[in-house]
Structure 1
Amino acid sequence: MTDTNYKYDIYLSYSRPDVDSVEKVARYLSDIGLKVWFDRWSLVPGVSWQVTLEEALGSSFTIAVFIGTSPLSNWQKQEWKTSLIKQKSDSLRRIMTVLLPGSTSKSVPSHLRKLTHIDLRKGLENTYELNRIIVNIGHMYGDRGELDKAIEYFEMALEIAEELKDIRGKAARLNNIGSVYQDWGKPEQALEYYQKALEIDEELKDIQ
């Protein structure tokens, strides 16, 4: 089991023209409980911003690279390249790309096209897509063997799915939690969540 002890859940990398859109996403993620590093909130006057950003990258569990209508800035390119280098010493550390309104899949640099995409092209209020960020973090913790943290994030995603009345999403999150408990060697808890997910699946079949 690897203990991450990262200070931030997610680091937000973006081009300056997209700052207002990214701040809306940052506020949403922060409000639901994620520890977000967003430069507009965190840079301190009088301190080297390059040093601060490099330290923040090293202290963040994952990085989200926002793709807007403008080309990636030179510093944004440096951020994701630095993250790719850090993956060599921490192969379970991941990068996500976030497509903002007005962007296209062709806007994504070739090196990032195989990565998980969060698609906000239909609007920044797409909470279904934003919830996928939490789910991805849950999977990352699970892959690292930090099962208590994996459950924490899957439960957070489950709560959002319930608020959205996303029945399929709720079933998927219940299965996620059941799988973690199974890996943890807790079959009774796993069975409880699997059963709840199965009941939802049966209800959906009846509706169809």
Structure 2
Amino acid sequence: MTQHAVFLSYNSVDKAAVTEIAHRLRACAIEPWFDEWHVAAGDKWQPVIEKALTEARASVVFIGPSGVGPWQDEEMRVAIERRVREPGYRLVPVLLPGVTRSTHGVLPPFLANIRPVEFQSGFDEEPALRTLIAGIGGKPPGPPIAPAIAASSVTPDRKPPPRATRDSYLPSRAGSRTESRVYELTVHFERGEDTLDTRYYLPGSDAIASASRPWSTFEAPLGSIATALDTQPVASLQDLIDRHAGEWGAFLFDLLFGSAKQWEDVLRTLFHQPLPATRPNPPWAPVRLRIVARDEPLLLGLPWRLTA
């Protein structure tokens, strides 16, 4: 994409709403061209807007209860003309709260046959934002996560053994992009005869992903960690954990999430970062991590916090 992936066209009365959505697009690695941010004081704004319209790979036309503004109408017509000339150019209508597709005459005729994105009550609606991001990239949004089996309903068969010295919460990292928000993820392990099955849950959802890996990959390292923890005097237990933080942390992260391809899918869903957003880093934000393990003592009481 070009430096500014999408041009935002709006009626000036809807500026506050569009500003909030622009911030959310940037948080998802979609760089918008927004006149409030990109027209310098003293510039002639018409040539700047014309240049932005011709360079952006997509345009979003916001329509609120007040309809299309005079200058917005000109921008919209340029975008419609580009869409006719350039098959790959994306033009996405967005209906702001207070406007629906059933509102009489809400969509100008040349936009009426294009599927719009609808923000029905606010601008933190994850399905609408996901649909908007997918539309800018020319991709379908895919199915939403259907609420069904709550992750909290999955419980361990017994408590961890005494070697558990810390809870399973991952602490927040300094400089985290979204420190004000804590995300929750349940990782459910189930040991088969020769496999370790792993399922991932968000609160109030079915499993968002699953994996099955050979148990032999993890058995010996887990046994070594468990023996070290169980035989260490309590007074020096923390020193032992600190000495092995890097080695054990990397192993436990691999145990939790597997390969980059596996954890990328899980973290995209957890952090609400669908494609085409850049791949989230594991320390993107604080995560409240809940570990559930059935019938396998080696998985209980481990220093999971090292995965931070």
Aligned to 2:74, which of 69, 75, 78?
A: 78
* 1:161 counterpart = 2:286: no
Q: 1:113-140: CA deviations, max 9, x gaps?
A: 1113111022211121111122223336
**TM-superposition CA deviations, 1:25-84 (whole Å, max 9, x none):** 000101121111111111111111111111111111110000101121111111111012
Equivalent residue letter for 2:90:
R
What amino acid does structure 1 have at the position aligned with 2:271? E
Residue segments in structure 2 that go unaligned for 5+ positions in a row:
140-263, 276-308
Partner residue of 1:87 out of 64, 83, 86: 83
Correspondence list, 1:98-117, <5 A: 98-105=94-101, 106=103, 107-117=106-116
Contact persistence 1:68–1:102 (CA under 8 A): yes
Number of residue pairs the alignment of both structures matches: 148
Q: Per-residue deviation at 1:158?
A: 7.9
Mark the CA change 1:158 to 1:22 in structure 2 (over 3 Å): closer, same or farther.
Answer: farther
CA distance in structure 2 between the partners assigned to 1:124 and 1:37 by the alignment: 18
Instruction: State the partner residue of 1:139.
Output: 138
Change (3 A) 1:136 1:34: same
User: Contact 1:134–1:157 (CA<8 Å) still a contact in 2?
Assistant: no
Please state how far the C-alpha of 1:88 moved relative to its aligned partner.
3.5
In the superposition, the TM-score normalised over structure 1's length comes to: 0.64
Task: Give the Cα–Cα distance (whole angstroms) in 1 for the partners of residues 271 and 15 of structure 2.
Answer: 28
Structure 1, residues 168-189: CA drift from partner, whole Å, max 9, x if none? xx8xx7xxxxxxxxxxxxxxxx
Identity of aligned residues (%): 27
Larger Rg: 2
- Cα RMSD over matched residues? 2.4
* Partner Cα separation in structure 1 for residue 23 and residue 36 of structure 2: 12
* Alpha-carbon shift at residue 159 of structure 1 (Å): 5.0
Structure 2 distance, partners of 1:130, 1:71, is: 21
Residue in 2 that maps onto 1:130? 129
Counterpart CA distance in 2 for 1:78 and 1:92 is 21
Structure holding more strand per residue: 2
Identify the structure with the greater helix proportion.
Answer: 1
Distance 1:40 1:128 in 2: 26
Q: Please state whether the residue corresponding to 1:95 is helix, strand or coil.
A: strand
Aligned to 2:48: 52
Runs of 4+ in 1 over 6 A off after TM superposition: none
TM-score normalised by the chain length of structure 2: 0.44
Gaps of 5+ in 1: 141-155, 165-169, 174-208
Please tell me whether residue 96 in structure 1 is matched to residue 92 in structure 2: yes
Structure 2 distance, partners of 1:120, 1:83, is: 22
**Rounded Cα–Cα distance in structure 1 between residues aligned with 2:267 and 2:13:** 33
8 Å CA contact 2:7–2:59 kept in 1: the answer is yes
**Contact 1:131–1:157 (8 Å) recurs in 2:** no
> Which residue matches 2:228?
none
Match 1:62 to one of 58, 65, 72: 58
User: Kindly tell me: are residues 157 and 104 of structure 1, through their superposed partners in 2, closer, same or farther at Cα, counting changes over 3 Å?
Assistant: farther
Corresponding residue number in structure 1 for 2:9: 13
The one-letter code sitting in structure 2 at the alignment partner of 1:133 is L
Please say if residues 131 and 160 of structure 1, whose CA atoms lie closer than 8 Å, have aligned partners that are also in contact: no
Q: Is the 8 A contact 1:135 1:157 kept in 2?
A: no
